[in-house]
Amino acid sequence: MVIDAVEEKKEIINRYRRLLRKAKPILEPGDAKLIKKAFTISLEAHKDMRRKSGEPYIFHPLAVAEICVEEIGLGTTSVISALLHDVVEDTDIELSDIERMFGKKITRIIDGLTKISGVFEYGTSAQAENFRKMLFTLSEDVRVILIKLADRLHNMRTLGSMPRNKQLKVASETIYLYAPLAHRLGLNAIKSELEDLYLRFTEEGVYDEIMGKIDDTRASRNKFIKAFISPIKDELDKLKIEYDIKSRPKSAHSIWNKMRKQNIPFEEIYDLFAVRIILDAPLDQEKSCCWQVYSIVTDYYTPNPDRLRDWISTPKANGYESLHTTVMAKNGQWVEVQIRTRRMDEIAEKGYAAHWKYKDSNSTHESNLEKWLVHVRELLERQDLSALEFVDDFRGNLFNEEIFVFTPKGELKTLPNGATALDFAFEIHTDVGARCIGAKVNQKLVPINHVLKNGDQIEILTSAKQNPTEDWLRFVVSSKAKSKIKDVLKEDKKAVAEEGKEILLRKLKQIKVDPNSQMFEKMRAYFRVNSQFDLNFKVGKGLITVNDLKRFKDYKPASPIKSKPQINDARTIEQEISKAKGRYDDILLIGEDMDVVEYKLAKCCTPIPGDEVFGFVTVNEGIKIHRSNCPNATELLANHGNRVIKAKWTSQHEVAFLTGLKIIGTDRVGLINDVSKIISEELKVNMSSISFRVDSGIFHGEIMLYVNDTRHLDFLIRKLEKVEGVVTVNRFDSRNIDSANQEKVNA
């Protein structure tokens, strides 16, 4: 590639000036000088570096700083930190140099954004360790995570230039951690874009199809909206109040989610778009103005009583305020209408940063986020969690919708959707939770696992004799309750585990097994436990005996490579493949190269030739092949990206692979006969099982059959769709909960 240095320099200066223009409204005297200093240092530090796209590296920090200003609404400190966020990690500049030039605050933010270097203990997750480190800084300064989200957004926007396995890893981390985090901080616009970009890079065909259909329906949609809002506009004009009416379709990801969850095509999604009415109302009149507009909308269109959402009286925990209603248009189409003020709209789009702008006028909403940050601090103080357990606990409440309930004295409490009486007890106090024996919900006696609903009033009943049990973990959904129950249980288990640790070391010595970290990792996989603590506990309880340990010592897992190298990560595997093939082309070939690399097909997603797949290096079972859209893929890729290896089908033996088809339609005589004829007689496909049930004239069929590849399967689906009475035919995975859980243990 020929690089025009003069043009490139001109473009860098243009981008820097654009950043300054956008930051101008927030700059204090002297700020521009500091930003210039940070830009100069970053430019020099990254001068010889280029991104995968071939662009100069400085484009990235400049873009991140611009997102911080324009899309999140952050100030000078964040702009400087964004410009410098990669220099400590990628260059010779150290944190002490940053502190000398820019002070402690900026240094602390950059430290939070700098990945931990070095070798991690075998079996742990570098991604999880770095995420925990970043959150340590978040608990002191929320700007760390906001800059990290800006960094992630730009990386996702430019992901097209990365190799395929990196795309899957980064996209999975994004949907697993960063999109839920953006949601929790109220950054709705960024959350939606991250989700859409995830879909674009993991399910490109699906993404293109949905976007194409959104484009195809634009003209008719615009015509419909114009007619829909016309009478509302006339009434709003009489109110003498400034307003905007916007309409936008749902994001591709939310449409895809709905299609999957409800198993319906694009055409059957009735609330494809929302009409948003934004008012310029004084703070003290916001609520009454919104309800006035609601009254106007429902004068013209009939509302669905089950679809009214009042987040103005009780905002969501992430500060979101809006009035939502779904109304029936004149043509029989449902339309979602969102009514909010300019202030509410800015908070909905820009989230946490916008709260600071309005905090003097409306501090109660900031307090919801503050409460959440307090919870993050509590979680960080728990030293007994591994990084993976921490990330799992942290994710637990990121995406949950909330319910609002009351104490006997009328105090409002916010809990995750699905919360039980026991969750509420732990929300009041740990001791109340630990001694809870039941509750009175709206004066009616209920057990501890009773699921609460919006508006319930709860009184907790306690007993001094009550003690938490393992079962309680199944009765709670809030991470606060889960962690408190685990704490109480762990105190009881600690003594047993300590004793178990001593017994284990003694027995391993007797059978001459070296107790190193790698051996313990294999032991945890062999005995199917998630942590060393659980292993020690099982030994202490006598659930793992000396005979079990001897069997473990004699156990020889099938080696994934004939030369039996040490499996640590994907790189080790790739080097071995390279040696075996005599060349290096960065791809694990499957099919005719089976004599080079043995592998297993993951039971959780049953890949077949033609599927897009990746290889995952497991602890005990060599390489497992997963579909890219496997239910476990996101978690494996997000937490163990270093163990992912490229894989693709390069040749297809005439081998049959088991897969499943789900058929739904209207029942009629001879239908099952027609379906089985096409499969076994016309297409000569072998079936392993077939089951049909009929409910009120609708039949549901599940067929397990053997196909050669995805083309073979697609051809079969098209044939079956033409059978009279058949409405939908979809592939499904022959997975079960055990196989999905086992994949996680083996990871």
Stretch (H or E) spanning 393: helix 387-396
Least confident of 197-201, 213-217, 285-289, 741-745: 741-745
Stretch (H or E) spanning 279: strand 273-279
pLDDT of residue 660: 84
Find, among 529, 567, 530, the residue nearest to 548 by Cα: 529
- 578 — pLDDT class (breaks 50, 70, 90): very low
Per the CB < 8 A criterion, the answer to whether 713 and 663 are in contact is: no
Greater model confidence, 230 or 549: 230
Return the residue matching tokens 């073979």.
Answer: 712
- 243 — pLDDT class (breaks 50, 70, 90): very high
Instruction: Compute the mean pLDDT over every residue in the chain, rounded to the nearest whole number.
Output: 80
pLDDT digits (tens, 9 = 90+) for 445-467: 999 999 998 888 999 999 998 88
Beta bridge partners of 302: 328
* N- to C-terminal Cα separation, the chain: 41
Greater model confidence, 634 or 379: 634
pLDDT of residue 532: 84
Segment 370-380 mean pLDDT: 66
- pLDDT above 60 (res 403): yes
Per the CB < 8 A criterion, the answer to whether 205 and 424 are in contact is: no
> Around 139, how many Cα atoms within 13 Å sit in the side-chain half-sphere?
14
Per the CB < 8 A criterion, the answer to whether 441 and 458 are in contact is: yes
- pLDDT above 90 (res 681): no
698-707 and 657-666 strand pairing: antiparallel
The contacts of residue 671 (CB under 8 Å, 6+ apart) are: 665, 699, 723, 724, 725, 726
pTM over 0.85: no
What's the DSSP call for residue 679? Answer: I
Q: Tell me, what amino acid is at 477?
A: V
Least confident of 82-96, 234-248, 378-392, 441-455: 378-392
Residue 90 known to be catalytic: yes
Give CA angle at 398 (395, 404), nearest 5°. 135
- pLDDT above 70 (res 365): no
Least confident of 238-242, 250-254, 570-574: 570-574
- Tell me what percent of the residues of the chain surpass a pLDDT of 90: 23
Task: Please identify which of the residues 4, 8, 66, 89 carries the catalytic annotation.
Answer: 89
Beta bridge partners of 435: none
pLDDT of residue 732: 76
- 560 — pLDDT class (breaks 50, 70, 90): very low
Find, among 610, 622, 609, 619, the residue nearest to 657 by Cα: 609
Round to whole Å and give the CA distance between 428 and 182: 28
CA quadruple 537, 543, 546, 547: dihedral positive or negative?
Answer: negative
Q: Sort 60 into a burial class: Cβ within 10 Å, 0-12 / 13-18 / 19+.
A: buried
Residues comprising the chain, all counted: 747
Round to whole Å and give the CA distance between 733 and 704: 10
What's the DSSP call for residue 212? Answer: H
Per the CB < 8 A criterion, the answer to whether 428 and 407 are in contact is: yes
pLDDT digits (tens, 9 = 90+) for 290-338: 999 999 999 999 998 888 989 898 887 777 889 999 999 888 888 899 9
Q: Tell me, what amino acid is at 583?
A: R
> Around 332, how many Cα atoms within 13 Å sit in the side-chain half-sphere?
0
- pLDDT above 80 (res 357): no
Per the CB < 8 A criterion, the answer to whether 436 and 421 are in contact is: yes
Domains, in order of start, for the chain: 5-187 (1.10.3210.10), 210-350 (3.30.460.10), 487-554 (no CATH), 570-653 (no CATH), 657-739 (3.30.70.260)
pLDDT of residue 197: 95
Stretch (H or E) spanning 619: none
Round to whole Å and give the CA distance between 714 and 16: 51
Return the residue matching tokens 């991250």.
Answer: 194
Best-predicted range by mean pLDDT (375-384, 396-405, 465-474): 465-474
pLDDT of residue 633: 83
Least confident of 218-232, 252-266, 632-646: 632-646
Round to whole Å and give the CA distance between 615 and 597: 11
Round to whole Å and give the CA distance between 384 and 139: 18
- pLDDT above 90 (res 150): yes
pLDDT of residue 271: 73
**Token pair for 493:** 């288990």
Per the CB < 8 A criterion, the answer to whether 461 and 441 are in contact is: no
Q: Tell me, what amino acid is at 478?
A: S
Round to whole Å and give the CA distance between 33 and 102: 12
pLDDT of residue 658: 77
Q: Tell me, what amino acid is at 1?
A: M
- 397 — pLDDT class (breaks 50, 70, 90): low
- pLDDT above 70 (res 575): no
- pLDDT above 60 (res 267): yes
Q: How many CB atoms lie within 10 A of CB 310?
A: 16
Find, among 687, 690, 694, the residue nearest to 668 by Cα: 694
Task: Please identify which of the residues 70, 71, 90, 195 carries the catalytic annotation.
Answer: 90
CA quadruple 292, 294, 296, 298: dihedral positive or negative?
Answer: negative
Round to whole Å and give the CA distance between 703 and 734: 10
Least confident of 238-252, 286-300, 377-391, 557-571: 557-571
Return the residue matching tokens 């940050």.
Answer: 373
Greater model confidence, 196 or 526: 196
Best-predicted range by mean pLDDT (131-135, 443-447, 488-492): 443-447
pLDDT of residue 590: 43
